[in-house]
Structure 1
Amino acid sequence: MKISNILASLLVASLTLFLASVSEVALAGDHHKQEQQEEVEKGVNNGRMLRDGDFAIELSLFEQGLAPEYRVYATMAEKMLPAAEVDVSIKLTRLGGVVDDINFSNEGNYLRGDMEIYEPHSFVVDLTASYQGKKYHWSYESFEGRTFIQDAMAKSMNIETEIVSSQELQETITVYGQLALPKSAIRHIRARFPGEIISLNVALGDKVSKGQNLMVVESNESLQRYTIKAPLSGVITFQEAGVGEQTGEQTLLTITDNSKLTAELSVFPMEQGKVTVGDKVNMTVAGSDVLYSAKIKDALVSVNNQQAKIFRADIDNASGRLQVGQFIRAKIIVDTYTVPLAVKSAGLQSFRDFTVVFAKVGQEYEVRMLNLGRASGPWREVLSGIKEGTEYVTENSYIIKADIDKSGAAHDH
């Protein structure tokens, strides 16, 4: 009975914590929803109607074939007023305290704003109008792509951020190839003076060091004994010698040094002109995530049957993990450049017809529509849409998107 009571208590506690978390997320997501749910009166130009008695302003965001701009239509008792008789100014306060001041000029039957309403169209609108000596004022929130999540909740959901800054990016091309032995990695051991093998100190498969005694041979002519030493370090990969045998002029042993292998990389015609000797290359072998770095040392003068030119790079294999004949995948770095702004690709999301990241100001998050340039590894160059020094979401940005989508923050002005 005591165990059952304990289990019941634990279940109740777990449910309580779960409901508390759900409630907290809901409250965070509802921070800006009230304005979105209010009914907004629209005018004949599909703008927002602002009324004070018989005087009314229709504020329209005009986006047809032009950069977005505000246009104002004024009426008194439902009758259109000449634009020249009305003075209007607007102040837009954006997330982070950025303020845009907009003045208007007479365009006949409407007033035209003097600046582009750049994305995101998310701000507090303060509109002041003057007609026949009387002033009118309206203020309202017009948010889109914005949500509020407490820092503690964001931390629990592993939402991570970084700062927008300049980055050094790389242009790479992906190629494939195979590991081979350098020509200098093989030595065939023969007797300088034919004779009888008196002693043999190594066998097939043994590792040897440069200068190590391999065998002693007694010359058939002088009957003098001499020692054959290893000309390089490596492994005995061929043996055709035994104690008491005659050496003749044949190969007795072969030593192979596999401490360094050559990556032979096939580069096809369209990209051959991009690769130069000295370029850095990062490689992996099939079935492994271990990264090997090297530099292009040379290129063969001819192409193979697939018209690919072979560029070669030496790889350190002191560990012995690499094998001759293994297939490799390589990225050759053909250019390195610095861009003023870049963001992590992991933070990118879609919003309406835009690719965005979510800027963080305090405990609020808001879309930033990006014009993107080149891609390089985890980075994307940013041509416009966000300022240097902006904190933005890099990990689990889909949570922010889901919360904004749930709130129904619309493109409405």
Structure 2
Amino acid sequence: MSKTNLKPIILVIIIGIILAGLILNLEKTSFSEEAEHNASGTDIGDDDMKDEIGPKGGKIFTTGNFSAEVTIFEKGVEPQFRLYLYENGKPIPPTDAKAAITLSRLGRPAQLFSFNPLGDYLLGDQIVEEPHSFDAAIAVEWRGKVFHWGYSQIEARIEMTEDTLASTGIQIQTAGPATLKPKVQLPGIIVFNHHNIVRVVPRAPGIVIEVPRHLGEHVEEGTVLAVVESQLLADLRSQYLAAQKRLALANANFRREKLLWEEKITAKQEYLTTQQLQSEAEIALELSAAKLRAIGERPETTSQLKNLTRYEIRSPISGLITTKSIARGQVIKEDAEIFTVVDTSTMYAELTVYPRDLDIIRLGQKAAIKSTATNIEGTGKITYITAMLNAQTRTAMARITLDNTSGLWRDGMFVNGAVNTEEIEVPVAVTMDALQTLFDWTVVFVRYGNYFEARPLELGRNDGEMVEVLDGLSAGEQYAAGNSFAVKAELGKSGAEHDH
């Protein structure tokens, strides 16, 4: 192999050795007090090393008559390294040199940037990810010599001791796998349980003489709702009482005739006749009793009544009186709906399901229901989904049964429903309350020892409590979760800037 072909290989080996040495050196100094509190950084280089600003506004490093200016350019493009080269302060073509930069970040492997000439500068081959907080090792080969420098740049990083964490209430969690339970938000309304609605009718016509219960009252099963004078009921009761007396008389005649027949005093025909009359009396009594039972009366109490026309209309269930269509003096028919009583121990939440969600809403899915106007909350399962869409709104309805023994849910109350549609396993997730906005980034503050550094994230799906992290954070890294805003506040007090 010729000497000409060996030169590039030897150059790469030399640069690699130098960069490795610089990385080790920078790692030892990156957590020093000076590095943490001096945002402008510390240059590491050969003789004549100075911390200066170059013509392009970047950091310029000089050894002898050769200088390199490092900038992070991000106007209209993703952040990128640009290197400008100078000899005795005058620009030189970027094609005359080769360069590499290695970045070391908290909790991240070293990142090596190669450079290619473009225009009047050398352009890095990768994006410089935010935040621009790192230790940089620079190596440039020019005219057969290798020049190396280094600097530290701190951004969006703050030191907080354990005592500070305790006093500010900052909670630490570890990023890792999670099961997301995405929710579909649906609007809805609370309505009565249709199976618990009873419409009360009198069953017998008459004139209303008492209405002791009123609209909105809660009544127990058997409570008297109204009292009616009913001639029809009086007739039925009279028929029952008469049938009772006829049966008693028939029983007495039968016993007498039976005794006389057994003693052969009367003929058998007379005995059989009284037996038939007894059976007919029993049938008549049972028929009159059945008529009373048909309108809700207890025949056995009829003989105790002083007023045969008095008809007490009672509540068939325990519940709330929601409608009342009766007043004293009113003549009512047997089929008139005079009260509606509703058992409110359970209620329905009827949620509006839009066409886009029809394929993911299923029977049995759990849903969290919350009032839009109050803090009332409840949970239940979807028990019914309409098979047809509403002709006007083109939506379906999903029904959730809610426990309402507390009586807090009311008919007509507007609610929002969060329906759990599926469970998704993700490799890395953080809590939603850990997310903060900083420099137009969505970040979490990642913990390294006593230091917290903002880490911009690329986020995926969430369920309102946890959010999937697609990029920017690895499983096992600790971050500020609860009260993470306190870290942002401390960072603001420290005067951290987004300045390159």
The normalised TM-score by structure 2 is: 0.60
Q: Is the 8 A contact 2:376 2:408 kept in 1?
A: no
Q: Is the 8 A contact 1:104 1:111 kept in 2?
A: yes
Q: Where does residue 121 of structure 1 map in the other structure?
A: 132
Return the letter of the residue paired with 2:141.
S
Please say if 1:149 is aligned against 2:160: yes
Please say if 1:390 is aligned against 2:394: no
Aligned residue among 262, 281, 298 for 2:367: 281
Q: Using the alignment, how far apart are the partners of 1:139 and 1:90 within structure 2?
A: 9
Return the letter of the residue paired with 2:368.
N
Q: Where does residue 208 of structure 2 map in the other structure?
A: none
Return the letter of the residue paired with 2:153.
S
Indicate how the Cα distance of structure 1 residues 288 and 47 shifts in structure 2: closer, same or farther if over 3 A, else same: closer
SS across alignment from 2:148: strand
Matches within 5 A, 1:91-240: 91-107=102-118, 109-165=120-176, 166-186=178-198, 188=200, 207-208=220-221, 220-223=238-241, 234-235=318-319
Offset of residue 395 of structure 1: 2.6
Q: Where does residue 52 of structure 2 map in the other structure?
A: 41
Offset of residue 82 of structure 1: 4.4
The normalised TM-score by structure 1 is: 0.70
Two-structure CA RMSD over aligned residues (Å): 4.4
Can you give the 5+ residue segments of structure 2 that lack an aligned partner in the other structure?
1-31, 43-49, 206-216, 223-233, 242-284, 299-313, 325-332
Offset of residue 121 of structure 1: 1.3
Please say if 1:404 is aligned against 2:491: yes
Return the letter of the residue paired with 1:262.
Y
Offset of residue 91 of structure 1: 1.7
Larger radius of gyration: 2
Aligned residue among 437, 440, 445 for 1:358: 445
Q: Where does residue 270 of structure 2 map in the other structure?
A: none
Please say which of residues 310-319 and 87-96 is displaced more in the overlay. 310-319
Report the structure, 1 or 2, having the larger helix content.
2
Can you give the 5+ residue segments of structure 1 that lack an aligned partner in the other structure?
1-27, 195-203, 210-216, 240-247
Q: Using the alignment, how far apart are the partners of 1:119 and 1:220 within structure 2?
A: 96
Indicate how the Cα distance of structure 1 residues 276 and 102 shifts in structure 2: closer, same or farther if over 3 A, else same: closer
Please say which of residues 173-182 and 151-160 is displaced more in the overlay. 173-182
Report sequence identity in percent. 26
Matches within 5 A, 1:210-359: 220-223=238-241, 234-235=318-319, 256-266=342-352, 273=358, 276=361, 278=363, 279-285=365-371, 288-294=374-380, 295-299=382-386, 303=390, 310-323=397-410, 325-333=411-419, 335-336=421-422, 338=424, 339-359=426-446
Indicate how the Cα distance of structure 1 residues 175 and 385 shifts in structure 2: closer, same or farther if over 3 A, else same: same
Offset of residue 300 of structure 1: 8.2
Q: Is the 8 A contact 1:296 1:313 kept in 2?
A: yes
Q: Is the 8 A contact 1:286 1:326 kept in 2?
A: no
Offset of residue 98 of structure 1: 2.6
SS across alignment from 1:399: helix
Indicate how the Cα distance of structure 1 residues 138 and 262 shifts in structure 2: closer, same or farther if over 3 A, else same: same
Count residues in correspondence.
Answer: 366
Return the letter of the residue paired with 2:416.
A
How big is each residue's C-alpha offset from its partner over 1:230-274, in whole Å with a ceiling of 9 and x where there is no partner?
9986348599xxxxxxxx96799986433222234455x666746
